[in-house]
Amino acid sequence: MAHITLNQYLQQVLEAIDSRDGAFCAEMLSFKHPHVANPRLQLSSPEEKSMHLHSFQAHKEENWALPIMFAATLDLRIFANNAEQQLQSKGKGKVGDMLEKAAEQLMSCFRVCASDNRAGIDDSKKWGMLFLINQLFKIYFKINKLHLCKPLIRAIDSSNLKDDYSTAQRVTYKYYVGRKAMFDSDFKQAEEYLAFSFTHCHRSCQRNKRLILIYLLPVKMLLGHMPTHQLLKKYDLMQFADVTKAVSEGNLLLLNEALVKHETFFIRCGIFLILEKLKIITYRNLFKKVYHLLKTHQLPLDAFLVALKMMKVEDVDIDEVQCILANLIYMGHIKGYISHQHQKLVVSKQNPFPPLSSVS
Amino acid sequence: MNETAMSVGWHQSRRGRGHRHKEQGRANREQVVEQKAEDSVPHGTCMTMCPAYELRQREAQNRLHRFEMVAGTERDRLPSADVSRAVKEYSRPAAGKDSTRASDLRPPSVLLKTVCHLVDEIAASSTSQPWTEVYSFVFDRLRSVRQDMIIQRVSGPDCVAVLEKSVRFLLYASYRLCGQQLQYFDPRINDTHLQECLSWLLESYRDGKHQHQEEFQALSLLYNLGSSQANTHVLELPERIRSSPAVQLALAVSRAHMERNPVRLLRLAQRLDFIQVCAVHRHLLPCRTDLLLLYSHGHSSRNCRYPLQRLARLLFLKDALAVQLCQVCGVNVTEEWVNFSKSSFTDTPSGDLQCRRMHEPLDDERWNCSAGSVIHGCV
């Protein structure tokens, strides 16, 4: 590869095009291929790539060029990323500009694929849709414009090919849709998608499995399922260890400490705000302990206040305790009512603290 | 050899590429491109608040605003323009209209002086009545100032100062004119412009040091209470800014909102200063309603009663107002007691109770005195 001349290279590409060998052609065009290192071939210009994208549409009722499109769009996104970084280091350009432009190009490819209604199922360009959507997801998440994902999700939901794409593509797709569901606070859905992604992700892709787990863990914890120490160790996610311990023990002090200690990591992954939602679960676990200790169904409010003070929760008084309890009752985590006159929480004699997974 | 579309395209793109391209060198080319970009950005030369051409035209067509006329000529058939008070008005960009003429554009220093005039002489003046008209005038003229900034791609300290005063003005207006009739004040339009100014301002803060950054990061978070995007933005700020008192207080309020603890939220809100209250006030009524909702479920019992006075204190409302809020929400209330019941709480939107009823009852006189210092930020 390092020694062939430009003409020889082009001859190979043209032969591949003639024989409709999409995969080989894609390799030759991709910037990951060794041919890039050949200085004799460095006249190739970016204009070429966009030329290919236009001619792609001209292939009526054929889809052998899909691998070429995949390679080209992947390179496009990577270039846009690099361009962004270069511009940022020079202090020029608005954040997200390069990536938005790349997204526009990808959208036009997507429209070509999505509107391919003429060809039969084997020749349809619709098989290119999920790959493109995954590329677009990556960009939208990077530039923080998640609302742009919605029409793409709708397109796949209404497609009859959705379960027939390759597992790899589906794992990536569900990962991003799961993360979006998290962002929209739809935790049941998020768990479904992310769990699928995790179980179907190939066991050799440790890095990807870890990435999925970073988002799956908080969701599972919110639904009351704590990860084992083993799991955290296996995937090098010990940052969650203290959080897990704190939540299951109802230890607010430890939870606050854990969140502060690993703040940078959690904020960078975008899960800090969701982990804060674990506070309400922690309150519930703490108060459940109080109930078990006092062994009565008429619990003095003061007991909860004492428990909170023991957890070093600052400047909290009886009014705030009532508010927290009212919230837990409203959400269904406690079955009972507060009597202000008697300064007591009266809980149901049956199952006053329903299991977390049963509470929506 | 078959000529496919691709190979033809490749041949075409080869044209014009050759030795010349290599000779110039990349660094040189970048400089040339930058120079070209610089030349095409307009630089304003109008040193008055209103361009001379527009002034003559509006005077001749009797399109001056009351605040721009020479005193005493308001009732003339053709009032005279007061050069020291006339301000360029906002005009929608249109095809065929050249908005880049240097003589019509005001440089950054003039823009800042214009904004100060609008705040000191108009918004804060006790003689400009009614304030709805003041708002309409200042809103429009500020919009024109921002338009000049956009056309000239202004950035830096002057730009930041203009945006900061604009944000304070719009926040102040959202509080003072809350509840006014739609024809005089539309909260949605005010909100759109406020969000635009805020995001432009926060974007400008990325470069260099700015004196008031902490204050405005806090205001942005308070105004957008409940938005995870606003929250994430603040969490990603540098430690120095995040740990400032203003931002810490805003974060505490935001946390109380996220944890759905209205008792805590309303208590923290008492520690906010005036402009911060302006920013957060539209979230307070929903917060109070939420408290009633949570208590309706948490204290739901036929036999139990909750003292009205205590509830009013939690809501930070006078007793009479607390009673009204309860009634609107379907919460049973007698002279001294409240009886919570989860089945009687109703979630009627807006209802008969307006946000405005819960504001500080300032009279016009005190409103005007505070305006100037609030908008300039000298409180």
Query: Mean pLDDT by 10-residue block, N- to C-terminus, for chain B (379 residues)?
Result: 43 44 49 58 92 93 93 90 94 82 92 93 82 94 96 92 95 92 94 96 91 96 92 91 96 94 96 94 94 96 92 94 91 92 79 70 63 69
- The answer to whether B6 faces chain A, any CB pair under 8 Å, is yes
Cα angle vertex A243, ends A242, A246, to 5°? 85
Q: Which residues of B334-359 are buried (b: 16+ CB within 10 A; e: fewer)?
A: eeeebbbbbeebeeeeebebebeebb
| Same domain (yes/no): B188, B318 | no
What's the pLDDT at B267? 96
| Same domain (yes/no): B77, B202 | yes
| Residue B173 is assigned to a structural domain of this protein | yes
CB contact under 8 A, B263 and A322: yes
Q: Which residues of A146-183 are buried (b: 16+ CB within 10 A; e: fewer)?
A: bebbeebbebbeeeeeeeebeebebbbbbbbbbbbbbb
pLDDT, averaged across chain A: 83
The answer to whether residues B242 and B232 touch, using CB atoms and an 8 Å cutoff, is no
The residues, ordered by sequence, that sit 6+ positions from A39 with a Cβ below 8 Å of its Cβ are none
What's the pLDDT at B262? 97
| Same domain (yes/no): B55, B200 | yes
Separation between Cα atoms, residue B208 and residue B206, nearest integer Å:
7
| Same domain (yes/no): B147, B47 | yes
Separation between Cα atoms, residue A210 and residue A232, nearest integer Å:
10
Q: Which of B210, B241, B265 is the last residue of a domain?
A: B210
Closest listed residue to residue A96, CA positions, set B86, B6, B280, B206: B206
> In the structure, what pLDDT confidence band is assigned to residue A114 with cuts at 50, 70 and 90?
confident
* Number of domains forming the structure of chain B: 2
| Residue B134 is assigned to a structural domain of this protein | yes
> Among A40-54, A65-79, B43-57, which stretch is predicted with the lowest mean pLDDT?
A40-54
| Same domain (yes/no): B206, B282 | no
| Residue B158 is assigned to a structural domain of this protein | yes
> In the structure, what pLDDT confidence band is assigned to residue A45 with cuts at 50, 70 and 90?
very low
| Same domain (yes/no): B202, B310 | no
What's the pLDDT at A3? 66
Which residues are B339's β-sheet partners? B332
| Same domain (yes/no): B47, B191 | yes
- The answer to whether B29 faces chain A, any CB pair under 8 Å, is no
pLDDT digits (tens, 9 = 90+) for A13-44: 777 777 777 777 777 777 666 555 555 454 44
HSE value, Cβ hemisphere, 13 Å, CA-based, for A78 = 9
| Same domain (yes/no): B48, B195 | yes
> In the structure, what pLDDT confidence band is assigned to residue A90 with cuts at 50, 70 and 90?
low
Separation between Cα atoms, residue A176 and residue A150, nearest integer Å:
11
Cα four-point dihedral sign B191, B150, B106, B216: positive
Interface test with B, best of A10, A330, A346 (most B CBs within 10 A): A330
pLDDT digits (tens, 9 = 90+) for A262-299: 988 998 888 998 898 899 999 999 999 999 999 999 99
Q: What three-state secondary structure class fits B54?
A: helix
CB contact under 8 A, B6 and A323: no
CB contact under 8 A, B299 and A337: yes
Within 10 angstroms of residue B326's Cβ, the number of other Cβ atoms is 22
How many residues does this entry show for chain B? Answer: 379
| Same domain (yes/no): B50, B173 | yes
| Residue B70 is assigned to a structural domain of this protein | yes
Quote the minimal CA–CA distance from A275 to chain B in Å.
Answer: 11
SS3 content of chain B, % helix, strand, coil (to 5): 60, 0, 40
Quote the minimal CA–CA distance from B295 to chain A in Å.
Answer: 6
Name the pairing type of β-strands B332-333 and A344-347. Answer: unpaired
| Same domain (yes/no): B104, B195 | yes
What's the pLDDT at A87? 73
> In the structure, what pLDDT confidence band is assigned to residue A118 with cuts at 50, 70 and 90?
confident
Residue A313 has pLDDT above 70, yes or no: yes
Separation between Cα atoms, residue B372 and residue B379, nearest integer Å:
9
What's the pLDDT at A317? 93
Cα angle vertex A318, ends B296, B284, to 5°? 55
- B51 preceded by cis ω (within 30°)? no
Helix or strand run (H / E) with residue B139? helix B131-151
> In the structure, what pLDDT confidence band is assigned to residue A50 with cuts at 50, 70 and 90?
very low
What's the pLDDT at A110? 84
The answer to whether residues B287 and B262 touch, using CB atoms and an 8 Å cutoff, is yes
Interface test with B, best of A55, A287, A323, A346 (most B CBs within 10 A): A323
Which residues are B338's β-sheet partners? B306, B333
CB contact under 8 A, A47 and B13: yes
What's the pLDDT at B339? 94
Residue with more model confidence, B349 or A317? A317
| Residue B146 is assigned to a structural domain of this protein | yes
| Same domain (yes/no): B206, B60 | yes
Taking CA–CA distances from B3, the nearest residue in chain A reads: A14
Residue A151 has pLDDT above 60, yes or no: yes
Q: What is the mean pLDDT of residues A300-318?
A: 91
What's the pLDDT at A107? 86
Kindly state the percentage of chain A with pLDDT values over 70.
84
Q: Which of B156, B191, B210 is the last residue of a domain?
A: B210
Taking CA–CA distances from B21, the nearest residue in chain A reads: A43
Domain that holds residue B161: 43-91+100-210
Report CA A22 to chain centroid distance, whole Å.
31
The answer to whether residues A40 and A72 touch, using CB atoms and an 8 Å cutoff, is no
The residues, ordered by sequence, that sit 6+ positions from B269 with a Cβ below 8 Å of its Cβ are B253, B277, B280, B284, B316
CB contact under 8 A, B298 and A91: no
| Residue B375 is assigned to a structural domain of this protein | no
The answer to whether residues B213 and B206 touch, using CB atoms and an 8 Å cutoff, is no
What's the pLDDT at A217? 95
Separation between Cα atoms, residue B162 and residue B165, nearest integer Å:
5
Q: What is the mean pLDDT of residues A321-347?
A: 95
| Residue B3 is assigned to a structural domain of this protein | no
CB contact under 8 A, A341 and B305: yes
Q: Which of B184, B210, B236 is the last residue of a domain?
A: B210
Residue A48 has pLDDT above 60, yes or no: no
Quote the minimal CA–CA distance from A167 to chain B in Å.
Answer: 32
What's the pLDDT at B368? 63
CB contact under 8 A, B304 and A14: no
| Residue B142 is assigned to a structural domain of this protein | yes
CB contact under 8 A, B304 and A337: yes
